[in-house]
Structure 1
Amino acid sequence: MDMTGERRIPAPREKVWNALNDPQVLKASIPGCETLEKVSDTEYRATAAVKIGPIAARFTGKVQLSDIDPPSGYTISGEGQGGVAGFAKGGAAVRLADAADGTLLTYEVKAQVGGKIAQLGARLVDASARSMAEQFFTRFVAEVGGAPQEVGASGMAGAIAAVGNAVSGAAAAVAPASAAPPPAPPPAALPVTMPVRAAGAAPLPPAAPVVAPARISLFALVPREPMGFPLVAWVGSVICLGILVLIFGSYLW
């Protein structure tokens, strides 16, 4: 894994150099650093809890300084063991240069990882390393004082501001149209059963109540005097005729 970058730190180069050699500043700046002990002027012993993707581990290792050139930079190398999570080893060349607004810090990192961490893939490992570098510089500058600036950050900020102004202008142009009230909905249709009366006309008479049809008996359909004889006479004749049939039938059978 290779990674390079530059940062403008708004502080004198001498102050930045001293901070890079201060164990307390480094401990506060390194993400997940739990202990950082200075063994000698060129050697440190450290313990850090690191999380890369789904893997979290505690690394313990040593860091060695070489090519020391105060206050211009040095080379740092080391190796850490994270148990079953794997290992990491490598080095970084750090250079400091005077700049108009402070100090220009450049770094070039070469590292190698193994174990379960390596199985996560180079893309995830690189993204995690860059994220940790951003956290380091943010904390480091807070310890030194000031705000970190990437090279070319002013141009990027200008581009972002231009895009923001364009978006704001477009939003302002669209706002009057979007603020217009929506058209009123059409009036609801009146029910068919409701009578409509024109303005100024006499009130309509109330509707007659609907009366349910009465039940009709079958006896009501029979005429009271069929063929001019009362119904009672017809019934009596039928009964007498039935009796005569029974009497004569008994003799015949």
Structure 2
Amino acid sequence: MELKSEFRVGIPVEQTWNTLTDVEFIAPCMPGAQLTEIDGDEFKGGVKIKVGPITAQYKGSARFVELDEANHRIVLEATGRDSRGAGNAAAEVTAQMTPDGDGTVVSITTDLKITGKVAQFGRGVMADVTEKLIGQFVSSLEEKLSQIGDQDDPGAEADDASADDAETTGEAAETPAESGPRQIEMAEPEPVDLLETAGRPLLKRILAPLAVVVFFLFNRRRRRKRRQG
């Protein structure tokens, strides 16, 4: 299924690019998500969701397949599997950033393929859930950005420190090459409650078949009473 969404952040497009391509910076802003490993343009992690008392955890990996800084376009591929083997998910996510005054509009198109219990909710519910989760993500992201203050981007302090070191030594600062994946220590996230997030659309999907069952049982009971009378 294809899902489309759009949001605006109150920072310039270049800073938005630097922020959204810094996976370690934005991961804590994503509801239910946990980043565990980064290896170049590939990273691993998981997402926790629940429907009422039932909790599911998807573990998987993602990678940037396109980083077009000139046009501010990102394409990301991600795959995940339910840790209990009850389903899997795959997605291709395209994000296009467009300047909007002193801010940036980010348009996201997600081509989602999902199996298992979550798949039965359908496109309507998934679109509603996606919209609300993105809203939570943007709120969390803007709160985090506001804490940076006058810092130009998440990596600005590190860049400034490297430049100061270079001036002191009179040589160009070089970042040591990392060998192998880098493990990320991130707090265990609270699962995303789909019932709470989806609200009425999901309740309608649950209550509609339940109403049919109740109606059937009620009529059956009435017929039984008539026979006995």
The offset of 1:54, in angstroms, is 5.9
8 A contact 1:45–1:61 mirrored in 2: yes
Cα RMSD (Å) of the superposition?
2.1
8 A contact 1:66–1:75 mirrored in 2: yes
Structure 1 pair 122–107 and aligned structure 2 pair: CA distance change class (3 A):
closer
Please give the TM-score of this superposition, normalised by the length of structure 1.
Answer: 0.52
Cα deviation 1:43-96 (Å, max 9, x = unaligned): 111122123566421111111112211161210111111134421111111011
Structure 1 pair 117–26 and aligned structure 2 pair: CA distance change class (3 A):
same
Q: Secondary structure at the match of 1:140?
A: helix
Number of aligned residues = 145
8 A contact 1:85–1:116 mirrored in 2: yes
Alignment correspondent of 2:14: 14
The offset of 1:106, in angstroms, is 1.2
In 2, the alpha carbon distance for the partners of 1:106 and 1:58 equals: 27
- Structure 2: stretches of 5+ with no match in the other structure: 148-229
Alignment correspondent of 1:78: 78
The offset of 1:110, in angstroms, is 1.2
Structure 1 pair 130–55 and aligned structure 2 pair: CA distance change class (3 A):
farther
In 2, the alpha carbon distance for the partners of 1:123 and 1:52 equals: 16
Alignment of 1:54-133 (within 5 A): 55-70=54-69, 72-82=72-82, 83-133=84-134
8 A contact 1:55–1:117 mirrored in 2: no
Give the counterpart letter for 1:118 in structure 2. A
- Structure 1: stretches of 5+ with no match in the other structure: 147-253
Structure 1 pair 21–39 and aligned structure 2 pair: CA distance change class (3 A):
same
Give the counterpart letter for 1:116 in structure 2. K
The offset of 1:142, in angstroms, is 2.1
Whose strand proportion is higher, 1 or 2? 2
Cα deviation 1:173-230 (Å, max 9, x = unaligned): xxxxxxxxxxxxxxxxxxxxxxxxxxxxxxxxxxxxxxxxxxxxxxxxxxxxxxxxxx
Give the counterpart letter for 2:116 in structure 1. G
Q: Percent identity?
A: 23
In 2, the alpha carbon distance for the partners of 1:90 and 1:53 equals: 25
Alignment of 1:1-253 (within 5 A): 1-40=1-40, 42-52=41-51, 55-70=54-69, 72-82=72-82, 83-145=84-146
8 A contact 1:52–1:128 mirrored in 2: no
Structure 1 pair 53–85 and aligned structure 2 pair: CA distance change class (3 A):
farther
In 1, the alpha carbon distance for the partners of 2:143 and 2:85 equals: 34
8 A contact 1:44–1:62 mirrored in 2: yes
- Which one is further off, 66-75 or 122-131? 122-131
The offset of 1:8, in angstroms, is 2.0
In 1, the alpha carbon distance for the partners of 2:113 and 2:53 equals: 19
Please give the TM-score of this superposition, normalised by the length of structure 2.
Answer: 0.57
8 A contact 2:24–2:35 mirrored in 1: no
Give the counterpart letter for 1:136 in structure 2. F
Q: Secondary structure at the match of 1:117?
A: helix
